[in-house]
Structure 1
Amino acid sequence: MQFFCKAGSLLLHSAHTNAKDLKESCSTCRGITDNFKKGFDKTTKKNFGGGNTAWEERALSKYETSEIRLVEILEGLCDSSNFECNHMVEEHEEELETWWFKRKTKHPDLFKWFCIDTIKVCCPKGTFGPDCNGCVGGSERPCHGNGACDGDGTRGGHGRCSCNQGYQGEFCLDCVDGHFNVFKNDTFSVCAECHASCKTCTGSTNQDCGECKPGWAKSEGGACNDVDECSKESPPCGEQQYCLNTDGSYSCQACDKACTGCKGAGPSNCLACAEGFKEDEGACTDINECEQPDEACPGEHRECVNIKGSHRCICSSKFEEKDGVCVQTEEPAASEESQEVLDSEPPEAAEQKYPEGHEDL
């Protein structure tokens, strides 16, 4: 029994693989016939450049249906790396030659003659499968014009419909939630989108909702209106956030840095001012600690730098902090070579370089 189960699985896998291969074979064949047409057009006006018009006319007439021209076209059908394409051309080169020499005049459509009727890897549009059966809804309007027929135009696929956005059902005649039928009969259906507030509807306005979407509620008049979650007694956001209502929903936004709690955006909507800020004409503004009567940065050689909501203490130029105090930065000792240069300079040059008050190195 176990053996048969495995064999069945292999057969199912093989059937799936074959169906996929059949679709790809049709795509490969279409690429070949498209490239054949490009090669045909490219070689139509081949220039011999001999200057002898009568000879060229005779030569071109022969070249037009010659094997030389066919070989040139065949050489350009596939990229060297495309195994499927090259394999198909090699396998069916004889059929291509037959079309070129014997069938081209009577059957000018190479794709139909070669891919559909001769090697049978494709089907006419609107049909699918080994026998080119009609798609759901008919070959003229597969899926009633509201979807795509699986395998359409190939010898693969199962023929079921993949409906376009807004449509559903076996025949793509029904509307999905959030859409309604503008028109519908047994073979034709047009769906349109409901109002943003409707989960189901019969028309395009918020008065036509059968059921409201989450975040919307029906009024006494029957319309679906937005629920303002931000106006509830217990707002849904955190202490350092404010609630922003949107259609059918809400979002929580961070309060301004100047605020401790807020009711909206910006420093003018603070419930209280954060540390380092003060209320000024209805808004929380930064306190400049560096300008306060009490010295913000006590100690020698220290400077105060104000930043939003706080301040920093830094050492003055040419000083650095060590063990909590600002000490003078140690300058590197002069090398013997630079000292020799100084000693060799005339006094006037030294005075220009190092004016009075300069500390010797």
Structure 2
Amino acid sequence: MLLSETVNLLFSLLFMLSIGHGTTKDVKALCSTCKQITENFNKGFERTANKNFGGGNTAWEERKLSKYETSEIRLVEIVEGLCDSSNFECNHMVEEHEEHFETWWFKRKAKYPDLHHWFCIETIKVCCPKGTFGPDCNSCVGGSERPCHGNGRCDGDGTRGGNGKCSCDGGYEGEFCLDCAERYFSEERNDTFSLCKECHPSCTKCSGGTAQDCEECKDGWEEDQEGSCIDIDECSKDPPPCDNAEYCLNTDGSYSCSVCDSRCSGCKGPGPGNCSACSEGYADEEGTCKDVNECEQTEAVCTQEHQECVNTRGSYKCQCASGFGEQEGLCVQQPEADDSQEQPESDAEVPNAAQQLAEHDDL
């Protein structure tokens, strides 16, 4: 019996411990909820700053009921606006610790004006001061004043969760965020401070900020006789890197290919003025490929009887002239519409409205 009770007690303790500690995500979420509550409290405090009891005789009410500024009525108005109705975590925290708001409002506000610090950090202990983390609010790497030496973010910063490890900002790396990442160089460095700046775009590694400070050139760049990394003009290579129907545009460290104008058969750049040759249906006129009007050529292009030519961009089409329609590949004259045809017999037999009225009157 004694052994059974001991086992049950151990399971109960383990269960309570698992609830009490929770996951890192849960602990961080509690702090975030608490921070939002205190921020909303401060907003509510500002919103009600110029309000009163709302009665007709404010001076009498404040003399009899105490000032609205420090009243329980004002506190209730503020607390009622702390959470959205759908936010379960927020409402649960407010309901669970409602007495703390009353204590702070009536007894602690003057001595501890920072509600977030008094409520979230010191009282219900779900947050930590900035620059600290974890259950005991230990200092982040680099110290609480400059977490991660000012070059990163401390995991769990300001909460009771996290492991305190640094996630370095761009350009920095290492456990303490003091080392310079690839394509960055150190301009200043000591045991507690590091300033990393970006290399020239032509460098993979560098000792300074110019193209002459490269220790290794990046792809698309090459070292010249003076030891500086310069751009490779891929467009000048033979054969060129782009297809026949494209033109090449060199960029720093690379290039791009764009489709030629439809009027071109090969080109050196955008538009019909950069064509290497003109596409079929276009001709070179003063250095620009322009549409050829096939319908104005000496030799007719539409040879069938009763056909006419219509010019289009880069081509033309043959169609039957007005009054003719195509039948089995030939343009055949269409019959003219006869407007003198008699109305259908069924229509003639239907009397109009005036006739129907006259017949009705006769009856």
* Same fold flag (TM > 0.5): yes
* Residue deviations 1:86-109 (CA, integer Å, cap 9, x gap): 011111112222222222222221
CA distance in 1, matches of 2:66, 2:137: 39
1:65 to 49, 70, 87: 70
Structure 1 residues without counterparts, runs of 5 or longer: 1-12, 341-361
Q: Which residue does the alignment assign to 2:27?
A: 22
CA distance in 1, matches of 2:331, 2:64: 99
* Residue deviations 1:220-256 (CA, integer Å, cap 9, x gap): 1000001111112221111222222111111122223
1:124 to 129, 135, 146: 129
Q: Which residue does the alignment assign to 2:188?
A: 183
Q: Which residue does the alignment assign to 1:200?
A: 205
Shift of 1:14: 9.4
258 and 119 in structure 1: CA distance in 2 versus 1, 3 angstrom threshold: same
Matches within 5 A, 1:266-281: 266-281=271-286
68 and 272 in structure 1: CA distance in 2 versus 1, 3 angstrom threshold: closer
Shift of 1:203: 1.4
Q: State whether structure 2 residue 266 is matched by structure 1 residue 261.
A: yes
RMSD between superposed Cα atoms in Å: 2.7
Give the 3-state SS of the residue equivalent to 2:129 in structure 1.
coil
1:241 to 236, 242, 246: 246
AA of the residue aligned to 1:248: G
Q: State whether structure 2 residue 164 is matched by structure 1 residue 150.
A: no
Q: State whether structure 2 residue 343 is matched by structure 1 residue 336.
A: yes
327 and 156 in structure 1: CA distance in 2 versus 1, 3 angstrom threshold: farther
Q: Which residue does the alignment assign to 1:79?
A: 84
**Is the deviation greater in 59-68 or in 86-95?**
59-68
Q: State whether structure 2 residue 179 is matched by structure 1 residue 169.
A: no
AA of the residue aligned to 1:84: E
Shift of 1:258: 2.6
* Residue deviations 1:8-50 (CA, integer Å, cap 9, x gap): xxxxx99997101111111110111111122223333223455
Give the 3-state SS of the residue equivalent to 1:314 in structure 2.
strand
**Is the deviation greater in 163-172 or in 325-334?**
325-334
Matches within 5 A, 1:90-109: 90-109=95-114
Shift of 1:60: 6.6
Shift of 1:264: 3.2
CA distance in 1, matches of 2:337, 2:288: 51
Give the 3-state SS of the residue equivalent to 1:203 in structure 2.
coil
2:330 to 317, 325, 334: 325
**Is the deviation greater in 228-237 or in 94-103?**
94-103
Is the contact made by 2:52 and 2:58 (CA closer than 8 Å) also made in structure 1? no
Q: Which residue does the alignment assign to 2:10?
A: none
Is the contact made by 2:53 and 2:68 (CA closer than 8 Å) also made in structure 1? no
AA of the residue aligned to 2:51: K
Give the 3-state SS of the residue equivalent to 2:66 in structure 1.
helix
AA of the residue aligned to 2:130: K
Give the 3-state SS of the residue equivalent to 2:45 in structure 1.
helix
Q: Which residue does the alignment assign to 1:296?
A: 301
CA distance in 2, matches of 1:15, 1:51: 51
Shift of 1:262: 2.8
CA distance in 2, matches of 1:333, 1:48: 92
2:60 to 35, 55, 76: 55
Shift of 1:330: 6.5
Give the share of equivalent positions with the same residue, in percent.
67
* Residue deviations 1:273-313 (CA, integer Å, cap 9, x gap): 32212233344332211111121222344332222221122
AA of the residue aligned to 2:39: D
**Is the deviation greater in 309-318 or in 191-200?**
309-318
CA distance in 2, matches of 1:71, 1:293: 96
**Is the deviation greater in 203-212 or in 269-278?**
269-278
AA of the residue aligned to 1:173: L
Aligned residues: 328
**Is the deviation greater in 226-235 or in 67-76?**
67-76
AA of the residue aligned to 1:247: D
AA of the residue aligned to 2:94: V
Give the 3-state SS of the residue equivalent to 2:197 in structure 1.
strand
Shift of 1:333: 7.2
Is the contact made by 2:283 and 2:292 (CA closer than 8 Å) also made in structure 1? yes
Q: State whether structure 2 residue 43 is matched by structure 1 residue 35.
A: no
Give the 3-state SS of the residue equivalent to 2:309 in structure 1.
strand
CA distance in 1, matches of 2:307, 2:239: 49
268 and 66 in structure 1: CA distance in 2 versus 1, 3 angstrom threshold: closer
Give the 3-state SS of the residue equivalent to 1:85 in structure 2.
helix
CA distance in 2, matches of 1:300, 1:320: 12
CA distance in 2, matches of 1:52, 1:254: 81
Q: Which residue does the alignment assign to 2:120?
A: 115
Normalised TM-score (structure 1): 0.82
58 and 217 in structure 1: CA distance in 2 versus 1, 3 angstrom threshold: same
CA distance in 2, matches of 1:151, 1:143: 12
* Residue deviations 1:51-95 (CA, integer Å, cap 9, x gap): 546414425734333333222221111010111100111111122
